[in-house]
Amino acid sequence: MYRIDIMTLFDETVGDMMNESILGRAQERDLLRIEAHQIRDYTLNKQKQVDDYPYGGGRGAVMQADPLYQCWRHITDTFGPGHTIFLSPAGKTFTQEEAKRLLNHYDHLILVCGHYEGIDERFIEECVDEELSIGDFVLTGGELPAMVVADAVARMVPGVLPDPECFQEESHYNGMLEYPQYSRPETWHGRTVPPILRSGNHALVARWRRKQSLLRTWRRRPDLYEKLDLTSKEDQKLLTELREEEPDFQG
């Protein structure tokens, strides 16, 4: 069973979010377990204080090393060693490839949510295996990034989604953006579903979707498009068709 433990100051909020919908049902079936741990429960301070002024001066406060350590130690003693990740703006950018790496290389993640001006560097040095960031911006705490990482990894655990195709064809999984999706009714506000999607020909539908993914990736994420291997005969045919059909396409 895949396990994710989240160290946080808002355990009820994080726990509720991670136990809803698809991830909640997966936990009921014992495919994975996501548990939030309240860091304040592991401080020896009667006021449940987990932060203090930073050495060297400056504004704000820093999360102390010992409450973090005691919480981390409880998790590792109870559930075994885990790959510990601190969610930090200074970390490596989290991507779909990183999510796949975490799923394939580890069966237990410990996610540490920082607050205030950060956490004591000594805890990072002693307990953290890597730092991850979900983007070049700063949030008020690490809970949202931790839930992003947990969700991205957990949804790929075998059995969580009904079929691997549920995530294998999505944006970023194979380096491209996902093709456009449509549902009923067939015509809405004068806009009609592309006829090929109503043809019943699965091979033609798959080909159309591949072509649309290529086009969308080229238009919206040229940085991703440049990394694609499009040397196959089928992709070369699709590129030729796109050049003929789309005047602006230069892929």
Residues belonging to the binding site for S-adenosyl-L-methionine are 114, 134-139
> Cis peptide leading into 185, omega within 30 of 0?
yes
Tokens 């790496």 found at: 101
Residues comprising the binding site? 114, 134-139
SS3 content of the chain, % helix, strand, coil (to 5): 45, 20, 40
Distance CA 226, CA 228 (A): 6
The CA-atom distances, in angstroms, between 118 and each of 89, 111, 147 are 10, 15, 18
3-class SS letters over 150-171? HHHHHCCCCCCCCCCHHHHCCC
Q: Which two tokens stand for residue 74?
A: 């409880």
At 79, list the tokens.
């559930």
C-beta separation of 34 from 154 below 8 A? yes
Beta-carbon contacts of 182 under 8 Å, excluding residues fewer than 6 positions away, are 193, 194, 197
Phi, psi at residue 23, to the nearest 5°? -70, -35
- Interatomic CA distance for residues 54 and 118, integer angstroms: 10
Report which secondary-structure segment, H or E, holds 203: helix 202-220
